[in-house]
Structure 1
Amino acid sequence: MKSFLGKRAVTSAISLVGLIILVFFLSRLTGDPTDLYLPENATQEARDQFRAIHGLDQHILIQFGKYVTDLVQLDFGMSIRRAEPAIDAVLRGFEWTLWLAFITMTLVTVCAIVVGSLAAFHVGGIFDRVATFFSLIGASAPDFWIAIVAIVVFSVYLGWVPTSGTGTVAHWILPIAVLFIRPFGLILQVVRGSMISTLSAAYIKTARAKGVRNRPIIFVHALRNALLPVITVIGDQAAGLLNGAVIVETIFGFPGVGKLMIDSILQRDFTVVLAAIFVTALAIFVMNILIDILYAVLDPRIRY
């Protein structure tokens, strides 16, 4: 078990280093921040001074070396746009994204397991067909399209919920609903398939022959064994929420790390972009390792 987790940690660290290198050099292709933050009639002296203040006057390899040296010391640099440490801005946004992903994923997991289990128990019935139909549509529809349609219908025409912001509970409804649809459809299908296979096992037939009620059969006897493949999908979808939230947060004006990342790219705020990528990637890697540990707890064979 320790060896397995050690290998995963090393692999994740290598991937993180590669991502940092890639993002650092690609972010520089967006242009010179000097052209964005200084007026067109700024003197060359002012431009040179701006570049020197933000370390942009040095060769790109020297800039990268300094960035790596600072990163080892957990110094992510100062935000050009906000004049504050980049990590402070990222952590504020990441807290919003984490809450959004946590609430959404909790609802998705509970609903998908319950609906998927019931659909498997009534396989071929009306409930199963309806659940499968809507789950396939939800898993296929792109988030940005659902978000735009949701705003037009529920905010513009019906006026039930706000279009953006986080001031009240109503502001959270549309972002959570949009992020809910895709992972719910995917996880439901995996739960349904896994439960159908598990419910046909011999020990389930024995439990039924002994007169055990349907609810304990589904949610006690069958669900534990059926959850093993589901956990992996839940972990992937949870990580996908952190990435997918970029589009949804931007559309709904949600002040999470996704919107911060997009704004910083447009503003050429390199330090914030790199800090946001680092924190998000680190969270995803940690989440994947936790999923591996949970998988091993549920299936003792993996420990060996």
Structure 2
Amino acid sequence: MGSFIFKRSLQSLFSLIVLIILVFFLARMTGSPADLYLPQDASAEIRHEFNERLGFNDPLYLQFGRFMAGLMHLDMGQSLQFSRPALDVVLQAFPTTLMLAAVTMPLVITLAVVIGSLAAFKPGGLFDRLASFVSLLGASTPNFWVAIVGVLVFAVTLRLLPTSGTGTVLHWVLPVAVLTLRPTGVLVQVVRTSMMTALSSTYIKTARAKGVGSRSIVFVHALRNGLLPVITVASDQAAGIVNGAVIVETVFGFPGIGKLMIDSVMLRDFAVIQAAVLVTALAVFIINILVDITYALVDPRIRYN
């Protein structure tokens, strides 16, 4: 296991380096920050002084070398919009996104396992057809559209929920509901298919012949063997929740890393963009490692040597 984690860490390190290079150069293709942070009538001398002070007049390879040197000391530069270290700004916003994902993912897994298992118990039945229709609808509906409709219906028309912020539990209802819909739809289909395969196996037929109850058959005997494909897709959906938070946080004014990233792109705050992408990529890497470890715990036959 230790050797496997080390190899995966090296692979992820290579991916992070490529990602850092792409983000660094793509961010600078958006234009000069001087166009946003200086008055429109600012003279050429003032613009030159602004760019010189921040190092934007240097060739790109020198700027990149300076960034990589700072990265070795966890220094990702200063935020232009906050006048603070970019990493501090990102780490202050990231817990909100992490909490949003931590609330959403257990809800997604619980709903998917229960609905998918019950649908697989009687394939072709009324509950199975209804669950399949709703899950496919949820999996194919874009997050931004659901978020906008949710605000229009529940916040503007019915006035039941707030439109933005994180002050109370009610502020979390719409963002969590929107983030839950799509991954739940995907996982319900995976759980249903996996459980149908498990329920048709020989050991399940033997358990039924011995008089084991339906609840034990579904949620004890069949569920464990049907979990492996679910864990794989659940890891992708967990990473998708972190990425989907960019849209949801922007729509609902949620002060997480997603909204911070969008605002930084709009304001050409290169240091914050780079720090936000790096922290998010590290979070996704950690999620994938935890999923691999979970594989070994669920199925002892799996060995990573």
| TM-score (normalizing by structure 2) | 0.97
Percentage identity across paired residues of the two chains: 60
Q: Which residue of 1 aligns with 2:268?
A: 268
Counterpart CA distance in 2 for 1:81 and 1:110 is: 40
Alpha-carbon contact 1:165-1:171 (below 8 Å) kept: yes
User: Is residue 2:119 matched to residue 1:119?
Assistant: yes
User: Is residue 2:167 matched to residue 1:154?
Assistant: no
Q: SS at the partner of 1:302?
A: coil
Q: Deviations over 1:201-250 (max 9, x none)?
A: 11111111111111111111111110011001110000011111101110
Q: Deviations over 1:12-49 (max 9, x none)?
A: 11111000000000000011001110112223332222
Alpha-carbon contact 1:101-1:241 (below 8 Å) kept: yes
User: Is residue 2:30 matched to residue 1:30?
Assistant: yes
Counterpart CA distance in 2 for 1:255 and 1:192 is: 36
Q: Which residue of 2 aligns with 1:199?
A: 199
**Pairs within 5 Å for 1:165-244:** 165-244=165-244
Alpha-carbon contact 1:54-1:80 (below 8 Å) kept: no
In structure 1, the gaps of 5 or more residues are none
Alpha-carbon contact 1:120-1:193 (below 8 Å) kept: yes
Q: Deviations over 1:242-280 (max 9, x none)?
A: 111101110111111000000000000000000000000
Q: Which residue of 2 aligns with 1:252?
A: 252
**Pairs within 5 Å for 1:46-61:** 46-61=46-61
> Where does structure 1 differ by over 3 angstroms across 4 or more consecutive aligned residues?
none
Q: Which residue of 2 aligns with 1:66?
A: 66
User: Is residue 2:97 matched to residue 1:131?
Assistant: no
Counterpart CA distance in 1 for 2:178 and 2:50 is: 42
Q: Which residue of 2 aligns with 1:85?
A: 85
Counterpart CA distance in 2 for 1:275 and 1:100 is: 20
Counterpart CA distance in 2 for 1:113 and 1:12 is: 30
Q: Deviations over 1:52-101 (max 9, x none)?
A: 22221211110000000000111111101100111111112111100011
User: Is residue 2:301 matched to residue 1:301?
Assistant: yes
Aligned length: 304
Counterpart CA distance in 1 for 2:291 and 2:192 is: 20
| TM-score (normalizing by structure 1) | 0.98
